Structure 1
Amino acid sequence: MAASVDKIFEALASGPRRQILAYLTEKELSTTELAERFAMSTPAISRHLSVLENAGLVTSERSGQFVLYKLNGDSLVNSLTGYAFELCPVARPLKRERAAAKTQKTK
């Protein structure tokens, strides 16, 4: 998990990448559409999107001649929650308690 958390924090360390994520919370956008929102070239936006995609924070899908990017919110939430549990001194008992509760619900 550490490697993926490292990639996520590296990706989130950049202000423009955090802004890209904010735009992608609203809708899927192409590299060109994102570049129009920044004082940045399309290749620079592509590099930021590559870092975000490598960290699992965005996904891409080809639509005709464009590649559309969308936020992968579940990955961000799950990774950061897992990280918080590792830091919290009571995390492991809470994690066990939550797992036990899930097991009892399925019985």
Structure 2
Amino acid sequence: MSSVFKALSDPTRRAVLQHLQGGPMGAGELADLFDVSKPTMSAHFAVLVAAGLIAPEKHGRTITYRLRLSVLEDALLAFAQTFGLNVTRPAQPRKEKP
């Protein structure tokens, strides 16, 4: 859980997660959205991957990142429960069979 909150402590990393809410994006495409060097963005991506918040998919020389929202949900639920809050994940709607 601490690696998730370390990852979330940086505004650039939080912004990366916000951009990935719209769907997977390439590393270069994401990096172009920020006014920092590519090596700096690579370091941010590495922290997010280590925390399990994003998942890299390598296609040749291109890396695409996707958001792993369930990891964030789990960390937030565990954090709330450490303060005695009785919070649970909402039930998933059942899919009807065709």
For this structure pair, what is the TM-score category when the shorter chain's length is used for normalisation? 0.7 to 0.9
8 Å CA contact 1:28, 1:68 repeated in 2: yes
Residue from 77, 82, 88 that aligns with 1:81: 77
* Alignment-derived partner of residue 62 in structure 2: 66
8 Å CA contact 1:31, 1:42 repeated in 2: no
Residue from 17, 20, 40 that aligns with 2:16: 20
Q: Residue type matched to 2:15 in 1?
A: Q
Residue from 4, 11, 14 that aligns with 1:8: 4
> How many matched pairs?
88
**As a proportion of its length, which structure holds more helix?**
1
Answering whether residue 46 of structure 2 is matched by residue 50 of structure 1, we say yes
- Show structure 1 runs of 5+ residues with no match: 96-107
> Between the two proteins, what is the percent identity of the paired residues?
31
> Match of 2:21, SS?
helix
- Show structure 2 runs of 5+ residues with no match: 89-98
Runs of 4+ aligned structure 1 residues displaced above 3 Å come to none
8 Å CA contact 1:29, 1:68 repeated in 2: yes
Task: Report the TM-score, using the length of structure 2 for normalisation.
Answer: 0.82
